[in-house]
Amino acid sequence: MLEMRVICLMKQSVLFAALAVAVPSALRAQAAVDLTVSSSIGQVMGYSSVEVTGIASRFTNETGRLVLQLDPGKTYRIRVKHLGYRAADTTITISADQRYSLKVTLNPIVVEVAATRVSGKTNCRMASDEESALGRIVGELRKNAEREALLRSSYPFVYKLVRDYEAPEGFRLKPRRDTVEYPSDIEDRYEPGNIVRYARNPVPGAARELRIPTLVDLADESFLKVHCFYYRGVTLVDGARLHKIDFEPVPGFNKADVRGSAYLDETTFVIRRAVFTIDRPQKLVPPVVGLEVTTTYREILPGLALVDFIRGVQDMPGRSREQRIEEQRLIAVHFTDRMPGQ
């Protein structure tokens, strides 16, 4: 069972107390904006993402509420997003250090997209969520990526994985198991055609590793510029109805990179699964015969998904057609400051 808790609570309470004593005038100088996000069809808009000009983005709490501290004498642009809904933009001008109430209503895109059964392709780029029904589906994939990026940057955490793999021992590969931890911040950004890196937590016999893109990379402009996206309609995967979106390098991209598929829940649009394979593996040094990485996702909070299980299968050269398999499973998430909604 996944363990999730907040650590350093005592340290956090002491820090807030010190801030309240040290800078009371700065706190009084700001205006409190009580933002509430609601749905035009009566759905709870918990954990909507809120982007505000000049300040860090945040999630609302489980009821769709967020209190912002903003400076008087400024005008702020606020953009609110939620999976399955059109984004909403508004502005607010703060004239005094008082309390403001701001309500934002989001309209669903579920009915429009659910009726779409065209298995065609979008333009050879990441379409916006406003251009067409197909574009809106692809836009939901990007929203998933943006939500994970916001979670990682504004609510830092450490996640622990148990890893099963095969390592060389003598002249044979033997099964091994270990546990690794990673911080939520992402240091190694995706670079087109540069998917080999030195391993942070290397396994024996493998100092370098293939840097397979993650969900967050699908919102990175450098990834979007060199990949085409295609909507393939709704498909059944393990009994679940999922929107399938394929992606591949743009025509003429002559380096090793990735192609694959992403799968979104038919009704909630939450990411459930992603499959990556190497495109032009012969371009790698040393060449790779073949590699496929399948990732499944789990919601740790409504609409906020993290990697739950990763399975990598690498074809080994030779007549025996052996495969080297590595699996990683999420076993714990520790938020080091605060959780979304706090």
Amino acid at 237: V
Residue type, 119: S
pLDDT of residue 295: 94
| Separation of alpha carbons 206 and 326, rounded Å | 12
**Residue range 174-184, pLDDT digits in tens:** 788 999 998 98
d(CA 170, CA 198): 24
Looking at per-residue confidence, does 288 or 46 come out higher? Answer: 46
Lowest mean pLDDT among 2-16, 110-124, 192-206, 286-300: 2-16
Element (H, E) at 178: strand 172-183
Tens digits of residue pLDDT in 183-223: 988 667 788 888 776 666 555 555 556 777 788 888 788 88
Q: Tell me the C-alpha distance between 170 and 150, whole Å.
A: 45
Q: What are phi and psi of 218, to 5 degrees?
A: -70, -10
Burial class (CB in 10 A: 0-12, 13-18, 19+), 20: exposed
Strands 271-279 and 290-301: antiparallel
Q: What is the DSSP string of 190-256?
A: --TT--EEEEEEEETTEEEEE----GGGGG-HHHHHTEEEEEEEEEEETTEEEEEEEEEEPTT--S-
> pLDDT tens digits, residue range 55-75?
889 999 999 999 999 999 999
> pLDDT averaged over the chain?
80
pLDDT band at 21 (very low <50, low <70, confident <90, very high): very low
CA 249 to chain CA centroid, nearest Å:
20
